[in-house]
Amino acid sequence: MSGGSRSLAGRRVLVTGGARGIGAALARRLYQRGARVAVVGLEPELLADVSAACGDAPWSSCDVRSRAQVDAAVEMAVDRLGGLDVVVANAGVAAQLPLVGGDPDVFERTNAVNVLGTYYTLRAAAPHISHPSGYALVIASLAAAVHAPLLGAYSASKAAVEALGNTLRVELRPSGARAGVAYFAELDTDMTSRGFGTRAATALLHGSRLHRVASLEVGVAALERGIARRSRRIVAPGWVRPVLPLRMAVQPLLDRRFQRGLVDALRIAQAERPPLTTPQPDGQP
């Protein structure tokens, strides 16, 4: 396969967070386009369903907070697929967190999954995709670029994910491999419905036109194109693209917009304790 090929046929792809949402939908789409996929995640029954839909694709349970488990999952994928061409560091969680009066456990757990999990995944997979057809993709968010109240933990984690992707891109260049960063606004997934299904979020966003949920298909289609092209940047929906270079100008506008309803939202959030959007195992991995 040439380094510039846009065909997905035969590409060996590992997707983390593959049990549900973006990860599961992406694995199915890539398999339908001829890729050979492996999926890892936390929910064995859901992973088995994704595997069955992808031609009995290899899968394993993996808590991405554990470096040892991530190492084992990557080695499983490499062994079963006979190598690796693409890794998609997709596993992630979210929960609202007022920085003043919020639960610090939310910050710690969010960053353990989103930041350490992404780092461990890239660390383990990068040696295998360091070839002229290789590609690493990290799933960041529009929240990496512009920041809303109650999303401090999530925004901080996704800004770190963006930094990891950009750094890896430079470090991979001598091998011919590439790296990309995906930026999504809200897509119709469990993460979005659970993350914004709180009383505090309702108070903050009441009457707002800023919170528009796009279909999951929009995000998966963008990922399919971006992975085929080994793109530097993937965005969905399309309006996210111009926001990224304008982030410094957009942030003050959002700051002013969110003042309406903010006092009530913060008061509610300090008492509200919603779970992480994907349940995590108790204790240290």
Residues annotated as catalytic are 154
CA-nearest of 89, 67, 68, 87 to 77 is 87
Cα(133)–Cα(130) distance, integer angstroms: 8
Instruction: Compute how many other C-beta atoms are within 10 angstroms of the C-beta atom of residue 5.
Output: 14
Q: What are phi and psi of 28, to 5 degrees?
A: -65, -45
How are beta strands 86-89 and 12-16 bridged, if at all?
Answer: parallel
Which residues 6+ apart lie within 8 Å of 41 measured at CB? 16, 17, 18, 19, 20, 23, 47, 59, 61, 62, 91
Alpha-carbon torsion (23, 29, 32, 36), positive or negative: negative
